[in-house]
């Protein structure tokens, strides 16, 4: 038989246990709701946004076309493939027809555009850094300014490796329009005889 003191303690314990169970159930329900909210947010962002905004880290899954150099522009990754001829013969003046074609087909990019190398182990190339890549400015049909070196920043060695190509500071003058030019060029190994051509879109 319980005495008065024991009976009061038993009643108190019976009151505490349902409260504890209720708190546990509330925590489980709250956790489930948070999980569902996170899933809904991921669905709203979509795969493209996830690739571009993963806590500042580049997602290797963004490089869907395999090994090469990628342009990140307006949140989209594109593998650079076809280069344009800039100078037919090294050491000679450019042909105005080649410059006109390269200018006409230059890719328009925004000021926040970025470039990456994927699965290219540039650290093993027989070139003295930072001369693995080249940056040139075509001012007019007869004038090519450069070559400027492009520095490479290692972002992920395990999944790739992945490097970001850091363009030279003069690119800021191209963005602002302070330096008149037709287009600018990226290429391998410190040469601008050919390359991928770009220009900054105005009004962006």
In tens, the pLDDT along 86-128 reads: 988 777 888 999 999 999 999 999 999 999 999 988 778 777 6
pTM of the model: 0.69
- CB hemisphere CA count around 9 (13 angstroms): 5
- The tens digit of pLDDT for each residue in 148-189 reads 989 989 999 988 899 999 999 999 999 999 999 999 999 987
Strands 76-79 and 133-138: unpaired
Buried b (16+ CB within 10 A) or exposed e, 93-132: ebeeebbeebbeebeebeeebbbbbbebebeeeeeeebeb
Nearest to 184 by CA among 153, 152, 151, 143: 143
């Amino acid at each position: 038989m319980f005495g008065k003191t024991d009976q009061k303690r038993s009643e108190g314990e019976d009151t505490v246990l349902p409260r504890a169970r209720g708190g546990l159930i509330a925590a489980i329900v709250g956790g489930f709701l948070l999980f569902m909210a996170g899933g809904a947010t991921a669905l709203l962002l979509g795969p493209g946004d996830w690739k571009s905004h993963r806590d500042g880290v580049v997602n290797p899954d963004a490089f869907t076309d395999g090994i090469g150099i990628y342009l990140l522009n307006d949140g989209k990754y594109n593998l650079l493939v076809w280069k344009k001829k800039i100078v037919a013969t090294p050491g000679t003046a450019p042909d105005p027809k080649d410059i006109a074609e390269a200018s006409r087909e230059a890719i328009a990019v925004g000021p926040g555009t970025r470039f990456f190398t994927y699965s290219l182990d540039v650290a093993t190339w027989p070139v003295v850094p930072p001369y693995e890549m080249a940056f040139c400015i075509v001012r007019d049909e007869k004038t090519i300014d450069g070559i400027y070196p492009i520095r490479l920043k290692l972002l992920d060695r395990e999944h790739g490796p992945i490097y970001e190509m850091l363009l030279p500071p003069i690119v800021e003058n191209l963005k602002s329009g302070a330096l008149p030019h037709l287009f600018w060029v990226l290429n391998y190994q410190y040469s601008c005889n050919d390359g991928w051509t770009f220009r900054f879109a105005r009004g962006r």
